[in-house]
Structure 1
């Protein structure tokens, strides 16, 4: 039975491969060793680390020796406390996944809406992901500062620590997509490029990142002409290699989402995406559109500089 059909029936447990205890044990030891390395490199004691996760020094010691299961929240708090880079966080997250079979939505369950959890699982099984968002740069292509500005706007009153965890989830979804080798087809409205979220520096960084990935073959970024008639809501379309049902659509609303697997409805959303794509620039003109936006935000950053 395909991943899409299992999602339709409400059971997506088989989307991600379950690991054996033989795989988990050495991964736990490696995870602990990596955490110990960063603690010692930064000159922190076991007591310092214990305070960061509100635990005893013996618990941290067992974690570093791989003798007790790593709790995702504890690992996240240590990563933040140690101030690790994105690349270092990625290494830690890979080991955490192997050590505890902790997929992305499980590690960030307390800040992940239920309707998003299944999408995260299905992303791991898809061979190709197509996405259109009329309002913002799609989450799978957001920079850290851009994502932070979006979350702050959407989640008024959310504690800063939880905002950072939502941002971390978006960044880890990107890492997972990047390492998987699957294709990503993104359609972005031209108006989105000039809609400021965060500082001008943040927008400059975001547009520069989009320009960089347009040069890759696996990430197909197309800019939709300003004023084009497009759906007012985001659409995901996922393709799968196995099974009878090899595709599904995911349509997100303000407080929920619909998963579409029936042929008639799939045809509808496939046509919607085709119509959006027909109103998009080709690769060359999409690059020019991004360069115009980059120039716009560069001037904004210059304007705010003193003198």
Structure 2
């Protein structure tokens, strides 16, 4: 089974309480013990597992004893080799983060450009985030299957399933901010985003239904700009920070990189563009109705595709 799809299939949450996982033992040791447990449950030898991480038997043994620093790539390759559930993978991810004493998103450094890691770091510090998007559903609001469809569409060459699964996991990890008091989030979507097919019709149906849930969140203000209304020509993300944190910034991403705008004149321009977009958008109930209509249309098309 493809790693990406297997890790998506487990309905259990990937967050596990580490306080019950082994007292005061170092995270590296706990991580090694977990890897050994999964190997032994599958009746695999150290030699067989070492081939999955392109290493020696002694390297695999040191990893399981917690004596060698665990590399994220090795842990994910073993997770795919052992065909782990999403919950088991989530537990390994937490141990890996603790063992390396890093932010959660640093686990994905090898599949994430530095400009995106910087954005994720700043999202967690922002007081308010305003997003306009006219091409795709913003990363913060994407479902797993929608995100996977975009990744496959944007890559010119085939991408290993493990790598796709990790990129998707990173995007899902960003949703942690929805469980926090701050930041407040305003998202303005051009109506074409609701109608532009990404992946299958069923993927679009699921994504629209997820957007409806997001629209009901108290901290999320989701608005739709009608196709007949004036909207900005490019996506913009604007981050505002608390008074004790200097400087707002605007983030503009393209296929090969991103630009951070911090000069006051540029910020004033982007702020005006976003204000105009909000003013041109439909009201809350009308926006929800637009998403509901899109969800119904995609559900009908999905039924026809079956």
TM-score, scaled relative to structure 2: 0.81
The one-character-per-residue Cα deviations of 1:179-231 (angstroms, maximum 9, x if unpaired) are 55533322222111111111111111111111122222123322222232222
- Give the structure 2 partner of residue 201 of structure 1: 202
- For 1:84 and 1:104, the matched residues in 2 are separated by 20
Confirm whether residue 154 of structure 1 aligns to residue 154 of structure 2: yes
Moved more, 144-153 or 106-115: 106-115
**Measured at CA, do residues 278 and 40 of structure 1 come closer, stay the same or move farther in structure 2, by a change above 3 Å?**
farther
- Give the structure 2 partner of residue 189 of structure 1: 190
Deviation at residue 250 of structure 1 after TM alignment: 0.8
Counting only pairs closer than 5 Å after superposition, residues 47-196 of structure 1 correspond to structure 2 as 47-103=47-103, 106-161=106-161, 162-174=163-175, 176-183=176-183, 184-196=185-197
> What 5-or-longer segments of structure 2 have no aligned partner?
1-23
> What 5-or-longer segments of structure 1 have no aligned partner?
1-23
Q: How many residues are matched?
A: 281
Superposed CA RMSD in Å reads: 2.6
Deviation at residue 302 of structure 1 after TM alignment: 1.3
Confirm whether residue 257 of structure 1 aligns to residue 293 of structure 2: no
- Give the structure 2 partner of residue 295 of structure 1: 296
Deviation at residue 73 of structure 1 after TM alignment: 0.7
Residues 152 and 159 of structure 2 are in contact (CA less than 8 Å); yes or no, is this contact kept in structure 1? no
SS for the counterpart of 1:152 is helix
Deviation at residue 115 of structure 1 after TM alignment: 3.1
Deviation at residue 244 of structure 1 after TM alignment: 5.3
Moved more, 154-163 or 104-113: 104-113
- For 1:169 and 1:126, the matched residues in 2 are separated by 19
Residues 247 and 262 of structure 2 are in contact (CA less than 8 Å); yes or no, is this contact kept in structure 1? no
- Give the structure 1 partner of residue 249 of structure 2: 248
SS for the counterpart of 2:217 is coil
Residues 231 and 272 of structure 1 are in contact (CA less than 8 Å); yes or no, is this contact kept in structure 2? yes
Deviation at residue 126 of structure 1 after TM alignment: 2.2
- Give the structure 1 partner of residue 280 of structure 2: 279
Deviation at residue 58 of structure 1 after TM alignment: 3.5
Moved more, 65-74 or 104-113: 104-113
**Measured at CA, do residues 304 and 28 of structure 1 come closer, stay the same or move farther in structure 2, by a change above 3 Å?**
same
**Measured at CA, do residues 27 and 238 of structure 1 come closer, stay the same or move farther in structure 2, by a change above 3 Å?**
farther
- Give the structure 1 partner of residue 14 of structure 2: none
Deviation at residue 249 of structure 1 after TM alignment: 0.9
- For 1:179 and 1:245, the matched residues in 2 are separated by 25
TM-score, scaled relative to structure 1: 0.81
- For 1:267 and 1:26, the matched residues in 2 are separated by 49
SS for the counterpart of 1:238 is strand
- For 1:128 and 1:41, the matched residues in 2 are separated by 46
**Measured at CA, do residues 28 and 249 of structure 1 come closer, stay the same or move farther in structure 2, by a change above 3 Å?**
same
